[in-house]
Amino acid sequence: MSEVLSGQGLSLGYQDKNVIQHIDVSFLKGKTSIIIGPNGCGKSTLLKGLGRMLSLRHGQVFLFSKALSELSTKEIAQRMAFLPQGMETPSDTTVREIVELGRYPHQGVFRRVSLEDEQIIDDVLMQTELTSVAHRQVDSLSGGQKQRVWIAMALAQKTPIILLDEPTTYLDMGHQLDILTLLASLQQQLSLTVVMVLHDINLASRFADVMLAIKDGQLIQQGTVSEIMQPSILKELFGIDACIVEDPINGRPICIHYD
């Protein structure tokens, strides 16, 4: 299976502080990779570096074997969508207008919306079950619906790769499951490569193909769900003694207790 996104020797930080230190990571086509780790370990910083939202201090990111530094912002946006944490909605903006923003990387200098753009927007609204609210103000929607709008905007970019920074933040359990189930369904339908940061290790275990464990700016391990959801790995990451069992419904490892 081909590698579509990778980072070699990545170091990232803010001002005089290094947060990510000499990390090597790779992401395979059509897989969902989920980054886990304690608060402040560098999960979001790594994702920003991969999406060129934060300048690298060292190393290189490769997108379809091309160095990110050699690609224009438009070229990157045509290949990779990035959804940061806590997106703020412009006031008096409809769902359709937000989704339309995803077409910008494919439009010319005058930003005209083509018939093809309109069709893609219609398709994305249908895929994310937002057609019935397309002309409503985004501010009037629930938190779960708003997150669907941002996902729809990313899908409208028509990129094979989507990066998401904690897409379930501020959502209750039901809406968290709803959003992650939607992403899993879209990933399967569209053969997307998805890379996301999650806090909940059981949700990560349920929805990931690959997991990355990060602590103190270092990659502890990248591997399958079964390889990462081990008591020894969780002890190193979070300092906990975890009891891991097999979920009787889906067969995935879950943490049922920890001290």
What percent of the chain has pLDDT above 70?
98
Contact 205, 252 (CB under 8 A): yes
Residues 154 and 214 in one domain: no
211/229 Cα distance (integer angstroms): 9
Among the ranges given (38-47, 106-115, 124-133, 237-246), the one the predictor scored with the smallest mean pLDDT = 106-115
The pLDDT tens digits for 115-174 are 999 999 999 999 999 999 999 999 999 999 999 999 999 999 999 999 999 999 989 999
Rounded distance between C-alpha atoms, residue 112 and residue 150, angstroms: 21
pLDDT at 16 over 90: no
Query: From CA 197, how far away is CA 36, in angstroms rounded?
Result: 6
Q: How confident is the model at residue 87 (pLDDT cuts 50, 70, 90)?
A: confident
Under 8 Å CB-to-CB from 110, ≥6 apart: which residues? none
pLDDT digits (tens, 9 = 90+) for 195-238: 999 999 999 999 999 999 999 999 999 999 999 999 999 999 99
32-36, 89-93, 129-133 — which is least confidently predicted? 89-93
Q: Are residues 67 and 184 in the same domain?
A: yes
Range of the domain at 191: 3-79+159-258
Q: Confidence class of residue 107 from pLDDT cuts 50, 70 and 90?
A: confident
Q: How far is CA 221 from CA 20, 157, 171, 214, 241, in A?
A: 14, 31, 28, 7, 18
* Domain edge (last residue) among 110, 130, 158: 158
Residues 91 and 75 both lie in one domain: no
- Is residue 72's pLDDT more than 70? yes
Predicted local distance difference test score (pLDDT) of residue 91: 83
User: Do 63 and 106 belong together in one domain?
Assistant: no
Mean of per-residue pLDDT scores for the chain: 96
Of 158, 183, 200, the one marking the end of a domain is 158
Do 62 and 98 lie in a common domain?
no
So what's the pLDDT on residue 88? 84
Find the CATH number of the domain harbouring 49: 3.40.50.300
Q: Which of 4-13, 57-66, 104-113, 120-129 has the lowest mean pLDDT?
A: 104-113
Q: Are residues 193 and 221 in the same domain?
A: yes
Task: Report pLDDT for 215.
Answer: 98
What is the pLDDT, as a whole number, of residue 138? 95
Q: Which pTM value belongs to this model?
A: 0.95
Same-domain pairing of 55 and 181: yes
